[in-house]
Amino acid sequence: MSKPKGFEKPTGFRDYTPHVVSKLRTIERNVLECMERWGYRQIITPTIEYYDTVGVASSTSDRKLFKLLNSRGTTLVLRSDLTAPIARVVSSMLKDEQLPLRLSYHANVFRSIEEEAGREAEFFQTGVELVGDDSPEADAEVVALAIASLQAAGVSSFKIAMGHMGFLNGLLEEVIPGQTAEQEQLKEGLLGRDYVGYRQSIEALNLEPKLKEQLEAILRLRGGKEVCTHAVELSSSAEAAQSIAHLCAVFEVLEAYGVSEHVLIDLTMIGDFSYYTGMTFEGYAAELGSPVCSGGRYDNLLQQFGRSLPATGFALKTNRIIDGVHGIIIEEKKPILIQYSPKRRAEALTEAARLRSMGQNVVTLLLPEDGAGASKVSVEARTVQAEKVITYGSEEGGR
């Protein structure tokens, strides 16, 4: 392998120029303030965690984890999501806090791309976790907050697709009971939106027509509240029925929030993490074909850290919003330029400090003492692109 050039960086990582950072920080600030208004408190966890705890619990496949060894030979990982680290904290440092817990975060996460060319290995997420409440009200709250957060991030046109893991699990166990491998293959087809492959997997099962139709019918269970009625008719499974009742209750709460117009029920939606146990959802912006947010219920995750609590949450995929959504337009704030001669340095810098204390952006520039440098100074002053120029010249020239 050839030695990298001085300006190269590892594949999957990027530099953030000042304009992009301004957009990132604006989104971060707006969204976290939105979450705070809903009662969510911000939490920060380490960038590096133990593989045997957070690494295993994260449900990110091993090949996507960045692993490293510390000086004692213990395997560590760069965090691949924030949900598992927060579950660790909730089960330890926050175990005496009153439930439910509402926590928010904004941080970078790392996933090794390996053969997945074009995918970022480091990206930012902004999200929340609501811990200690298993009600439809809690699930509806995180969906409604996801909608408010997308709007705060400048995403004006989007749809939330909402499903439930329990319905699919119940349906599959009813139609092909005990066939775990076949069930997983069908789930993979739905997860990848490979409906052709999903139908081919059904054909390979050699089911009787009625059972085959049951599995194929789930592809048509997308739409509004009427989907709940069709779903109940499709499966007699107790788990499926309970899941649909919960999902419909969530939708009713979203109607009360006044945001149901942004939501469609999609029972092919199963989420891309194995720790999801109930309601799952993804948000799609009009400009993009890939999700800009995702979330759901994960009632079993905290058990891995010794505390059995229900939980639900979501994360905005902040990088996708920055790169693919044109909602927030950052106007660069031009600074005030104070240029000064050496003899009036103290006076000029005092004025710069005064203006900065008032919230102004100020840059300073030392003027050359000889007149020959005047043209150079004017070029430098234009390069600064100042909103206003204040000059402290020679004592004879005045301000």
Higher pLDDT, 384 or 331: 331
Asked if 84 and 302 touch (Cβ cutoff 8 Å), the reply is: no
Q: Which H or E run contains 127?
A: strand 122-131
pLDDT of residue 114: 56
Higher pLDDT, 232 or 383: 232
Find the range with the poorest average confidence among 128-137, 321-330, 372-381: 372-381
pLDDT of residue 3: 73
Confidence bin at 273 (pLDDT 50/70/90):
low
Of the candidates 112, 28, 34, the one whose C-alpha atom is nearest the C-alpha of residue 77 is 112
Asked if 252 and 275 touch (Cβ cutoff 8 Å), the reply is: no
Average pLDDT over residues 79-97: 95
Structural tokens at position 125: 């997420």
CA dist., res. 142 & res. 135, Å (int):
12
CA dist., res. 126 & res. 316, Å (int):
5
CA dist., res. 162 & res. 159, Å (int):
10
Structural tokens at position 346: 């103290």
CA dist., res. 25 & res. 119, Å (int):
22
pTM above 0.85, yes or no: yes
pLDDT of residue 184: 87
CA dist., res. 388 & res. 52, Å (int):
57
Of the candidates 228, 180, 220, the one whose C-alpha atom is nearest the C-alpha of residue 199 is 220
Instruction: Give 142's contacts (C-beta < 8 A, 6+ positions apart).
Output: 128, 130, 295, 312, 313, 314
Structural tokens at position 305: 């850290």
| Most confidently predicted of 195-204, 216-225, 312-321 | 312-321
Q: Which H or E run contains 311?
A: strand 311-317
Structural tokens at position 51: 């593989």
CA dist., res. 126 & res. 128, Å (int):
7
- Give, as one character, the DSSP assignment of residue 35: H
Q: To the nearest whole number, what is the mean pLDDT of the chain?
A: 88
- Give, as one character, the DSSP assignment of residue 289: S
Q: Which H or E run contains 163?
A: strand 158-164
CA dist., res. 315 & res. 35, Å (int):
12
